Structure 1
Amino acid sequence: MRLPFRVVQATCHDTDTIVDVVNSDRLYKTVIPSKFYKDPFLTSEELKNYFATMDLTFFLCREGASVLGVGALIGRKDGDGQLGWIFVVPERQREGVGSALVATIERQARARGMPRIILETDGGAYWAISFYQSLGYREYKRTDHLWGYQIWIQKALSPP
């Protein structure tokens, strides 16, 4: 079955679009206490700083001219990859957009020789944890946070 969307690498002109998609999803507001929740979740200035200081590649899931979701591969100093900012616009969640983004990021990580991908998410983000587990990711540690804990999950990548 051919999916009605495609995943492409973002360019420097996509910063505002990435920020808009990240900020369109309010699910984390339900698990992060209001005194710690930052709104907007991500600003253009923060994203530009991340691009300047991190090994960061963003991807967009597009359907025609519309962007349905975003996600990033972060190259870590230890050689692993890290998933970041996987967000899908609310009206297109549960349609395979997130899975398509993660699959593309995994292929990119394999091509770069990364042995595994890790990510962290809030311990209360049951929907995110369940999503990543369905894709083969497994928890490997928990770290304390101001309002609870972060879950770190990983997936080993086979060579290309």
Structure 2
Amino acid sequence: MRRTRLTDVPCPIARGLDEVGEWWSLLILRDAMRGLTRFDEFQRSIGLATNMLTRRLQALVEAGLLEKRPYQERPLRHGYHLTDKGRDFLPVLVAMADWGSRWLLPGGAFRLVDRETGLPVEPVLIDRTTGEAVRPERLRPEFTIPAKDETE
């Protein structure tokens, strides 16, 4: 059974889910952010069957979130590395980790820690333009529709 594609839906959340909406993809991206690059590393970390892991890695490469780079010639083996698009997904994972820690693992079972200072990280979404924290009550979605070509 094929799932519905969301590539034509005029919503950035729907389109984002179309590329990374399966939980295995999110876990692969999580591990790639942690520095894992090799197929066997992902498999050991996630525990996903090889055929499923192959499909998910291929989908993430096709979506432009990961790129394949050879690291061994005989036999030929590739590592999977984050692209700029993939690295830009980090805030999504950090927000999910913070939310999950707060609501699903209460009691301090998990926290994000700064590698250099060792201090806990308390993520907050900041507006690039104003530097202010983003709050739901201040948001209004707005879609801009591109102007039609006048020659049509």
Compute the TM-score of the two structures, normalised by the length of structure 1: 0.31
Write 1 or 2 for the structure with the bigger share of helix.
Answer: 2
Q: Which has the higher contact order (CA 8 A, sep 6+)?
A: 1
Structure exhibiting the larger radius of gyration computed from Cα positions: 2
Write 1 or 2 for the structure with the bigger share of strand.
Answer: 1
Compute the TM-score of the two structures, normalised by the length of structure 2: 0.32
